[in-house]
Chain A
Amino acid sequence: MIYEAVKTESLPKTVYLDNNATTRIDPQVLETMLPFLSDYYGNPSSIHQLGATVGHAMAKAREQVQLLMGAEHASEVVFTSCATEATATAIMSAVEAMPDRKEIITSVVEHPATLQLCQHLERKGYKVHWIGVDNKGRLDIDAFRAALSEQVAVVSIMWANNETGTLFPVEKLAKLAKSVGAQMHVDAVQVAGKYPINVQHTDIDMMSISGHKFHAPKGVGALYLRRGTRFRPLLRGGHQERGRRAGTENAASIIGLGMASEIAYHAMAGETARQSMMRDRLEQGLLARIPSCFVTGNPQERVANTTNIAFEYIEGEALLLMLNQVGVACSSGSACTSGSLEPSHVMKAMNIPFTAAHGTLRFSLSRFTTDDDIDAVLAELPAIVARLRMLSPYWDNDANCGSSEMFAPAYA
């Protein structure tokens, strides 16, 4: 069989600490999905039994996602193909539903799904208020308040940052947005399934989540759309999702998203404690073992599964390649890893010292992370950092410390 080679059993064991990028599908989720990829292939819109079976399973999934979001009604959940689609739907809907308002508020550290859409709208004539952050990644609330006016159609802010895990006070921001009649959209991709959400008791109008960040498959997301919110669909041409998102539903994945939501909801309290303990052990262990490194973002206010550590005088892609060699998977904000050659906009926005801006590593844990995984990183990473620093012209091997002044080329 052609796919035999990629079965997980045949791969060498990986210490997978890149769960903010994507997660493995929970076996229980996969099991729930499989019949809908084989026997139950009906169109959920059809009248017959084969379609109705799928329709009923999707209705259950909607209630499971409602539970995770803390929404008042299941009908406030709109399934989408991904969180990027949910975010585009939310922002475009708000500007179309309120054509007289020509301003948008967002932050400089958003996911590209928000960032580049707002840049696009800026070119179309919208005024975008880009709210900055301080060196710990905390939002400039004064600038946020100053940007608010009755000209603002939509405020789109992330709940937690994907690179640092830093949380924004979105409930407070939603209240402020409401005070000027703007719609509030929250990108909750990095908190869904990791941090308790009770959206019905907030002033949030719209909220995006992504399935594959909490053990559902890739290619499915959801938009929370508060009942009564003025709305314009992004995809037209079908009655699906009550006309709010046309197109035949990705039924099996939606059913998987439902199952993943229910599991995450019930596991949350225990997992938050377990993962934050492991995360802290990893973080403290690395800080103690490796000189010239520090945590980025705001350690006081962040999701339990994420740590982002900057290693000075070395470069992130080189770190990732060496970690990969020993079976550790994580990610970096370095320019060279993204395929874009641009350093991470989040690190730039936080004004990370330039000695470390290219050497950040993000470790993100999940329900499947074990203490052995943490031990593996603590055992491997110090030697890797030391090895790369030995190669670096910015590192003094005798003094075991670095300096940006010891190497200042005449030719940039």
Chain B
Amino acid sequence: MWDYSEKVKQHFFNPKNAKLVSDANARGDVGSISCGDALSLSLKVNPDTEIIEDAGFQTFGCGSAIASSSALTEIIIGKTIDDALKVTNQEIADYLDGLPPEKMHCSVMGMEALHAAVANYRGEVLEDDHEEGELICKCFAIDDLMIKRVVKANGLQSLEEVVNYTKAGGACTSCHEKIEWVLDEALAEMAEAGIDVAAVAKAKAKVAAPQPEIAASSKPQAVTESSSEDDAELAKRKAIIEQVIDEVRPAVHADGGDIHLVDVEDHLVFVSMSGNCSGCGLSGLTLANLEIKISDALGETVTVFPLQPSYDEAEKKEATYDL
């Protein structure tokens, strides 16, 4: 049986706002019956003040999915939609006095439903970036597709590198055997496509190897052509990310470590961690927290990857491949 908090049980057995708001003017539907959880969130937003006056949910799913939906409605009622959008899935979990790691996706579903509802209210369309791979790391909810993508992009060759780059396997370690299978598959696929893993690794190491301060302020060695408009946009996003990292840095310093932004590629944010952080089992938790804060600040979902600053292998050929 799952180890649910009393608060989760309360919200499961006596859910709040389990209803369809009759005069709703915003609706967010996420999930699917074949995946095992689905949530319909209906909101009544005051058009003048943009305050969420009422919220209701209908949920198909397990105990924590129902409890997370109930908690979400309690949290957002009375907030403006801008303030509600700042609610992270971690806040939903905290409101419930925590969720088991394997159940964190339930709180994510709540957050997604809220974003869908706000998009619906504003007449926008959200980008659906869901992917369906086999879940490998349950602690950090990382699937095989994600691992393969990072392996290929960075030329990773060992389990240790995969753990450092993706967080997968960084907590309970029970998925290490599976990670090695995925790594082997990815390397085989690269070999089949005629891609030299070592060359990719070398190219990436160039980006990651310089002192973090320099790397953070210099332009990333992106090979793809980009217009100056894109550059300006990227610089703006990086400035926002830098600001978030500056905010968390004192906490990291307190633990005897340091953290710096290295690169941003689409929805991937690469950071370098040094000192006590880099080998620490809890660094994954720090990163998960950082990921939420950055996503929040940018208003988009990003994934934070830690790079090892020392990661460099001398005997590698020149770069021939970039993602």
Across the interface, do B32 and A412 meet the contact criterion of CB distance under 8 Å?
Answer: yes
Across the interface, do B116 and A410 meet the contact criterion of CB distance under 8 Å?
Answer: yes
B interface residues, tally (CB under 8 Å) = 38
B254 adjacent to chain A (CB < 8 Å): no
Across the interface, do A411 and B30 meet the contact criterion of CB distance under 8 Å?
Answer: yes
A390 to B19, alpha carbons, bound, how many Å?
Answer: 9
A11 adjacent to chain B (CB < 8 Å): no
A324 to B4, alpha carbons, bound, how many Å?
Answer: 13
Known A-B contacts A321-B12, A390-B18, A393-B29; A341 and B135 likewise in contact (beta carbons under 8 Å): yes
Residues of B within 8 A of A315 (CB): 36-37, 60-62, 65
Across the interface, do B38 and A324 meet the contact criterion of CB distance under 8 Å?
Answer: no
Give the residue name and chain of the B residue nearest to A324 (CB).
B1
Across the interface, do A317 and B31 meet the contact criterion of CB distance under 8 Å?
Answer: no
Across the interface, do B33 and A391 meet the contact criterion of CB distance under 8 Å?
Answer: no
Residues of B within 8 A of A334 (CB): 36, 62
A125 adjacent to chain B (CB < 8 Å): no
Residues of B within 8 A of A339 (CB): 2, 102
Across the interface, do A391 and B63 meet the contact criterion of CB distance under 8 Å?
Answer: no
Residues of A within 8 A of B34 (CB): 354, 357
A325 adjacent to chain B (CB < 8 Å): yes
Least distance between A119 CB and chain B CB atoms (Å): 10
- Residues of B198-255 contacting chain A, CB below 8 A: none
Partner of B62, one of A317, A407, A412: A317
Across the interface, do B102 and A318 meet the contact criterion of CB distance under 8 Å?
Answer: no
B76 adjacent to chain A (CB < 8 Å): no
Residues of A within 8 A of B33 (CB): 313, 354-355, 358, 394, 404, 407
B197 adjacent to chain A (CB < 8 Å): no
Chain B 96-134 per-residue mask, 1 if CB under 8 angstroms from chain A, else 0: 000000110000000010001000000000101010000
Known A-B contacts A391-B59, A409-B32; A318 and B12 likewise in contact (beta carbons under 8 Å): yes
Across the interface, do B128 and A392 meet the contact criterion of CB distance under 8 Å?
Answer: no
- Residues of A352-375 contacting chain B, CB below 8 A: 354-355, 357-358
Least distance between B274 CB and chain A CB atoms (Å): 34
Across the interface, do A313 and B60 meet the contact criterion of CB distance under 8 Å?
Answer: yes
Residues of B within 8 A of A409 (CB): 29-32, 38, 40, 116
B311 adjacent to chain A (CB < 8 Å): no
Partner of B66, one of A318, A342, A411: A318
Across the interface, do A393 and B116 meet the contact criterion of CB distance under 8 Å?
Answer: no
A390 to B33, alpha carbons, bound, how many Å?
Answer: 16
A118 to B112, alpha carbons, bound, how many Å?
Answer: 39
- Residues of A305-359 contacting chain B, CB below 8 A: 313-318, 321-322, 324-325, 334-337, 339-343, 354-355, 357-358
Residues of A within 8 A of B128 (CB): 410-412
Chain B 44-71 per-residue mask, 1 if CB under 8 angstroms from chain A, else 0: 0000000000000011111111100000
Give the residue name and chain of the A residue nearest to B69 (CB).
A391
Chain A 161-202 per-residue mask, 1 if CB under 8 angstroms from chain B, else 0: 000000000000000000000000000000000000000000
Chain B 4-45 per-residue mask, 1 if CB under 8 angstroms from chain A, else 0: 000001001101001000000000011111111111100000
Residues of B within 8 A of A321 (CB): 9, 12-13, 63
Give the residue name and chain of the A residue nearest to B134 (CB).
A342
B138 adjacent to chain A (CB < 8 Å): yes
Across the interface, do B15 and A391 meet the contact criterion of CB distance under 8 Å?
Answer: yes
Give the residue name and chain of the B residue nearest to A325 (CB).
B13
Chain A 395-412 per-residue mask, 1 if CB under 8 angstroms from chain B, else 0: 000000000100111111
Give the residue name and chain of the B residue nearest to A322 (CB).
B13
Across the interface, do B60 and A314 meet the contact criterion of CB distance under 8 Å?
Answer: yes
Partner of A343, one of B36, B64, B130: B36
Give the residue name and chain of the B residue nearest to A332 (CB).
B62
Residues of A within 8 A of B18 (CB): 390-391
Across the interface, do A318 and B32 meet the contact criterion of CB distance under 8 Å?
Answer: no
Across the interface, do B181 and A123 meet the contact criterion of CB distance under 8 Å?
Answer: yes
A263 to B171, alpha carbons, bound, how many Å?
Answer: 46
Residues of A within 8 A of B181 (CB): 123
Across the interface, do B59 and A393 meet the contact criterion of CB distance under 8 Å?
Answer: yes
Give the residue name and chain of the A residue nearest to B41 (CB).
A393
Across the interface, do A412 and B31 meet the contact criterion of CB distance under 8 Å?
Answer: yes
Chain A 231-256 per-residue mask, 1 if CB under 8 angstroms from chain B, else 0: 00000000000000000000000000
Across the interface, do A410 and B59 meet the contact criterion of CB distance under 8 Å?
Answer: no
Listed in ascending order, the chain B residues whose CB lies under 8 Å from chain A are: 1-2, 9, 12-13, 15, 18, 29-40, 58-66, 102-103, 112, 116, 126, 128, 130, 135, 138, 181
Apart from the given pairs A355-B33, A409-B116, 14 other A-B contacts in the complex at a CB distance below 8 Å: A123-B181, A315-B36, A318-B12, A318-B66, A334-B36, A336-B37, A336-B65, A358-B33, A391-B59, A393-B59, A409-B32, A410-B116, A411-B112, A412-B130
